[in-house]
Copies of this chain bind each other. A is one copy, B any other.
Amino acid sequence: MKERQEAIKRYIERKGDVTLSELTKEFSDWSEMTIRRDLEFLEQRRFLIRTKRGARIMPTSYEVSVGMYGEREKRNCDLKQEIAAKAAALVETDISMYLDAGSTAMMLARELPDRNLIITTSAPNIGIEIVLKKKNPTVILLGGTLQRKTISTCGLNVLDQLKTLNIDTAFVCASGYTESTGFSVGGQHECVLKRAIIASARRVIMLMDSSKLNSILPFTFAQLSDIDTIVTDSKAPESIKAAFRAAGVHVL
């Protein structure tokens, strides 16, 4: 596959769906015809499907996150992308890691290197995404009741399941953070799961875009002292980042 085609693929994967005119503007070094042919090529390889006036990412599990939660998710897409890229750089080969549910985690899944990894996750859509798009990682899904809102599982026996799994690095997402309340989420089940993960992982990396700073959700699952690193985006206020660092947390 050519470099241009790779680039187009990546662009569409980031955006979800694009119009041809958008692509011709983005890749203005080439003619519309060439891009059109590239889309045809990429469609044949099942990387995307062509729509009326453009193309759309081949929706495997992607649609489950982006499609479900709706437009809201797309808005902070660039922030999350930035976070995902930074977080992916922290992933070492042959590591045993946990990947949380959520759209940021989905983006991280996409950015992961196609190498030997053991990836445990409670998000079946993310697990499927990885298994379909990469050849090398091993994916372990946690069992349990599948939650409609979050597309993640939670079971009464999570602790049992984690007992035989040794997780080195856990990538955890939060929906809210304030200094006084710590990291919080909207669901009770998620909260329990995240706590268990944090307790068992050697290293905890929190993924949180700046729009979630200074908001509080019903259930707190962690404090600053529980985590090792926070990956956030460039729009995060310097004051909060300084406070993180003061608490001994790495900030990226």
CA distance A181 to B220 in the complex (A): 55
CA distance A138 to B141 in the complex (A): 18
A124 interface contact, C-beta 8 A: yes
A6 to chain B, nearest CB (A): 20
From residue 40 to 55 of chain A, which have CB atoms closer than 8 A to chain B? 46, 49-52
Residues of chain B with a CB closer than 8 A to A51's CB: 49-52
- Asked if A58 and B50 make an inter-chain contact with CB atoms under 8 angstroms apart, the answer reads no
Chain A window 135-146, contacts with chain B (Cβ cutoff 8 Å), 1 for yes, 0 for no: 100111111111
So how many copies of this chain end up in the complex?
2
A68's partner among B50, B132, B142, B164 (CB-CB below 8 A) is B132
A128 interface contact, C-beta 8 A: yes
A21 interface contact, C-beta 8 A: no
- Asked if A124 and B141 make an inter-chain contact with CB atoms under 8 angstroms apart, the answer reads yes
Please indicate which of the listed interface residues A141, A144, A147 has the most CB atoms of chain B within 10 Å of its own CB.
A141
A18 to chain B, nearest CB (A): 13
Closest to A129 in B: B64
A131 interface contact, C-beta 8 A: yes
CA distance A5 to B139 in the complex (A): 39
CA distance A141 to B143 in the complex (A): 5
- Asked if A146 and B128 make an inter-chain contact with CB atoms under 8 angstroms apart, the answer reads yes
Chain A window 11-35, contacts with chain B (Cβ cutoff 8 Å), 1 for yes, 0 for no: 0000000000000000000000000
Residues of chain B with a CB closer than 8 A to A138's CB: 145
Q: Given contacts A124-B127, A143-B143, A146-B131, is CB(A67)–CB(B63) below 8 Å? A: no
A133 to chain B, nearest CB (A): 11
Residues of chain B with a CB closer than 8 A to A116's CB: none
- Asked if B157 and A164 make an inter-chain contact with CB atoms under 8 angstroms apart, the answer reads yes
CA distance A145 to B67 in the complex (A): 26
- Asked if A50 and B52 make an inter-chain contact with CB atoms under 8 angstroms apart, the answer reads yes
A80 interface contact, C-beta 8 A: no
Please indicate which of the listed interface residues A58, A64, A164 has the most CB atoms of chain B within 10 Å of its own CB.
A64
A-B pairs with beta carbons under 8 Å apart, 9 shown: A52-B52, A64-B132, A125-B128, A141-B143, A141-B144, A141-B145, A143-B143, A156-B164, A157-B160
Other contacts beyond A140-B155, A157-B161: 16, CB < 8 A: A51-B51, A52-B52, A58-B59, A58-B67, A59-B63, A60-B67, A61-B64, A64-B128, A124-B141, A128-B151, A132-B148, A139-B146, A141-B143, A141-B145, A141-B153, A157-B160
